[in-house]
Amino acid sequence: MNENSMQNITKIYLASDHAGFEMKEHLQDFLSKQHYEVVDHGNFEYDEDDDYPEFVAAVAQAVAIDHESRGIILGGSGQGEAIMANRFPGIRAVVFNGQYEPQDGREVPNEIVISREHNDSNILSLGARFLNNEEAEEAVTLWLETAFSGEERHRRRNEEIDSMF
């Protein structure tokens, strides 16, 4: 049994602006081959003048309603997209632009793993100008395969956040 079936995550909502368009198209094919149902909320063609809020809002609304789904949004840095998504109640969007590797010998936790285990992130915002397709595939796979820990302290914190909206 794979993690996908253990978590009942079968549907992935996608969206991007022009900067993330090519990577979104790549990930849509990648996820479909992994047997996820992929719902594309746009943009549906490359348009260098598009704006992400409409596309990201559609993903955030869908994930907020469909608790057994996840969303992946893409932009140049992923920052604006995450800011937009996090305006919706119940959304916990995190940005990933590559795993930080300190040069001074420190060990840091894997951001993708922590975002799922501790924060139960339900939208992953990728910076297409920071990642290549292979790195994006690895990030998405790890994010989808990592379960929320369910620890009381993490549940409590997420409930506190949700209660403020």
What are the residue numbers of the active site? 81, 118
Paired with 96 in beta bridges are 126
For strands 123-127 and 93-96, give the pairing: parallel
Instruction: Report the distance separating Cα 131 and Cα 67, nearest Å.
Output: 28
DSSP 76: S
111: nearest Cα among 143, 151, 138, 81: 143
> How far are the Cα atoms of 38, 58, 73, 119 from residue 162, in angstroms, in the given order?
27, 20, 21, 12
d(Cα 112, Cα 143) in Å, to the nearest integer?
Answer: 6
